Amino acid sequence: MIRVGIVGATGYSGVELIRLLANHPHVAVHRLYSSSAEGEALAGVFPHLHQVQLPSLEAIDPQQMADDNDLIFLATPAGISAKLTPQLVNRTRVIDLSGDLRLKSAQLYQQWYKKEPAEGGLLEEAVYGLPEWNRQKIASARLIANPGCYPTASLLGLLPLAETGLADMRSWIIDAKSGVSGAGRSVSLGVHFSEVNESVSAYKVGKHQHTPEIEQELSKISGEEALIQFTPHLIPMTRGILVTAYGRLRSSIDAEQLQALYEKAYEQEPFVRVRKPGSHPRTKEVYGSNYCDIAVHHDPRTDRVIILSVIDNVMKGAAGQAVQNMNLMFGFAETAGLTQLPVFP
Ligand SMILES: NC(=O)C1=CN([C@@H]2O[C@H](COP(=O)(O)OP(=O)(O)OC[C@H]3O[C@@H](n4cnc5c(N)ncnc54)[C@H](OP(=O)(O)O)[C@@H]3O)[C@@H](O)[C@H]2O)C=CC1
Ligand SMILES: CC(=O)N[C@@H](CCC(=O)OP(=O)(O)O)C(=O)O
C-alpha cells in the first residue's frame, strides 16, 4: 500500500479523489490537508462521508507532508502548486491538478493565468499527464502536471489526426460546453443556480487559459505550430464536457479511413471509446466514469472534419486522470480504482 496525501480535499476534485482512492486496492488515503478547516473531520464539510474512515484535515506543512506520504495530490487553485511543489518534489512524488505546471513557457503562464509562474526547473521537469499520449514518461516521472478538463477532451479528440500530419493545424475551431462543477466549489455569482439554470453562455471568449495548453500539446504531437480558436460555454448541468471540434485536412480522407484511423489509435486504450459511425456521444454516457467517448465525422459538402468528444470533467478531466497517472507512476494496473461504469440515467 502506498501512503497518499491530498491537498484541497474540501474541493470537488479532492473529494472525487477520495471517492476513487477509497476503493483502490494499493492505496491508503493517509493524510488530508486544508488551508481553511484544519482539525475538522472531512464529514463536517461533506456529510455524505459521515462514518467513512478518513483522516482529519491537517494544516499544510510541506516538510511534514513530504515525510508522511509517498505521493501528494495537489487539488488546489492555480498559484498554489507553484509555491508548494518546490518544497515537495525532491522528497516525494507529486500530481498537480491545477494549471501551474502544464505550460512549458513561463511567459505564456503569466500571460494566460495572470499569476507568477513556477520556477523554470519545475516547468521543465513536470510531465504532461495525458496517459494515452505520454505513457512512458509518466511511468518514470516524479512530478505530473495533470491536464485541464477542456484540454483532455479536446486533445483526445484531435491528436490521432494531428499525429498523421493530415490535419491543417491552424484550422481547428473547438467549441466546448462544461457543467458547472468545472468551476469548483467556491461560490460566485457566475455559478449561482438562478443565473445558470435555463441559460447557456459562452465565457472567456478568446481568453481562456486552456488555449495555450491545447496548442502546446497539438504542436508537440503534430510537429507544427498549432493555432486554435477555443470557446468554452457553461451549461446548466453538474458534470460533463462536450467538445465539438471543426477542422480541415490538407488532403482528402473518406469517412471509412477516418473511422479506421481513430479505432486503431485507441484500440488498446481502456478509457477511450471510439463510437460507431453516426453515433453522437452524450455527456450522460460517461457520467461518473473515467471514459472519454469520441465520434468522428467527415462532411463531404463542406469538406470539414467534425470531432465530438465527451468526458466527465471531475473524472477523466481531473481526479480520474490523476489516479490513472498515479497507477502508471507506481506500476499498478492502469485501471485500478477506475473501473466504475457510467452512472445512467
Ligand atoms: N472541477 C473540475 O472539473 C476541474 C478542476 N481542475 C483544477 O483542479 C484544481 C481543483 O479544482 P476544484 O476541485 O474544482 O476546486 P475547488 O474550488 O472545488 O477546491 C479547491 C480547494 O483548494 C483549497 N485551497 C483554496 N485555497 C488554497 C490555498 N491558498 N492553499 C491551499 N489550498 C487551498 C480549498 O480547500 P481548503 O479551503 O480546505 O484549503 C478548496 O477546497 C484547480 O486548479 C482546478 O482548476 C482541473 C480540471 C477539472
Ligand atoms: C466551468 C468552468 O469554469 N471551468 C473552469 C475549468 C478550468 C479549470 O478547472 O482550471 P485549470 O484547468 O486551468 O486548472 C474554467 O473554465 O476556468
The minimum-distance atom of ligand 1 relative to the CA of 76 is: 22
Q: What is the pLDDT of residue 263?
A: 98
Using the predicted structure, report yes or no on whether residue 190 has a pLDDT greater than 90.
no
Distance CA 307, CA 77 (A): 30
Measuring from atom 15 of ligand 2, which residue has the nearest CA? 183
Residue 53 burial (10 A CB sphere; 0-12, 13-18, 19+): exposed
What's the 50 CA to ligand 1 centre distance in angstroms? 22
Using the predicted structure, report yes or no on whether residue 158 has a pLDDT greater than 90.
yes
- Residue 226 Cβ inside 6 Å of ligand 1? The answer reads no
Identify the residues whose C-beta falls under 6 Å from ligand 2: 78, 98-99, 148-149, 178, 182-183, 209, 232, 234
Cβ count near 63 (within 10 Å)? 10
Task: Give the tens place of pLDDT for each residue, 68-113.
Answer: 999 999 999 999 999 999 999 999 999 999 999 999 999 999 999 9
DSSP string covering 95-141: EE-SSTTT-S-HHHHHHHH-SPPPPHHHHHHPEE--HHHHHHHHHT-
Length of the chain: 345
Using the predicted structure, report yes or no on whether residue 187 has a pLDDT greater than 90.
no
Whose cell is 488515503? That residue is: 29
Task: Give the tens place of pLDDT for each residue, 200-226.
Answer: 999 999 999 999 999 999 999 999 999
Domains within the chain, CATH numbers bracketed: 2-125 (3.40.50.720), 150-312 (3.30.360.10)
ipTM, 2 dp: 0.98
Nearest ligand to residue 185 Cα: 1
What's the 78 CA to ligand 2 centre distance in angstroms? 10
Higher pLDDT, 239 or 252: 239
Q: How much is the average pLDDT of 179-207?
A: 95
Cβ count near 136 (within 10 Å)? 10
Q: What is the pLDDT of residue 120?
A: 84
Distance CA 166, CA 206 (A): 26
- Site to probe by mutation for ligand 2, drawn from 76, 201, 204, 209 as the one with most ligand atoms within 8 Å of Cβ, is 209
- Site to probe by mutation for ligand 2, drawn from 12, 174, 210 as the one with most ligand atoms within 8 Å of Cβ, is 210
The minimum-distance atom of ligand 2 relative to the CA of 98 is: 14
Q: pLDDT-derived band of residue 194, with 50, 70 and 90 as boundaries?
A: very high
Task: Give the tens place of pLDDT for each residue, 239-248.
Answer: 999 999 999 9
Catalytic positions are 149
Q: Taking Cα atoms as reference points, which of 202, 204, 230, 203 lies closest to residue 215? A: 230
Nearest ligand to residue 196 Cα: 2
Using the predicted structure, report yes or no on whether residue 152 has a pLDDT greater than 90.
yes
Measuring from atom 12 of ligand 2, which residue has the nearest CA? 148
DSSP string covering 15-80: HHHHHHHTT-TTEEEEEEE-SS-TTS-HHHH-GGGTT---PPEE---HHHHHHH-SEEEE---TTS
Task: Give the tens place of pLDDT for each residue, 122-138.
Answer: 999 999 999 999 999 99
What's the 312 CA to ligand 2 centre distance in angstroms? 13
- Residue 75 Cβ inside 6 Å of ligand 1? The answer reads yes
| Three-state secondary structure call for residue 3 | strand
Task: Give the tens place of pLDDT for each residue, 21-40.
Answer: 999 999 999 999 999 999 99
Q: What is the pLDDT of residue 252?
A: 84
Apex 233 CA angle, 266 and 100, nearest 5: 70
* E-state strands within the chain: 2-7, 27-33, 57-58, 71-74, 93-96, 127-128, 143-145, 173-178, 201-202, 229-234, 241-248, 272-274, 292-299, 304-311
DSSP string covering 139-169: HT-SEEEPPPHHHHHHHHHHHHHHHHT-B-T
Task: Give the tens place of pLDDT for each residue, 286-324.
Answer: 999 999 999 999 999 999 999 999 999 999 999 999 999
- Residue 82 Cβ inside 6 Å of ligand 1? The answer reads no
| Three-state secondary structure call for residue 236 | coil
- Site to probe by mutation for ligand 2, drawn from 149, 205, 216, 315 as the one with most ligand atoms within 8 Å of Cβ, is 149
What's the 169 CA to ligand 2 centre distance in angstroms? 24
Cβ count near 342 (within 10 Å)? 17
| Three-state secondary structure call for residue 64 | helix
Is the omega angle on the peptide bond into residue 55 within 30 degrees of 0, that is, cis? no
First to last CA, the chain: 35
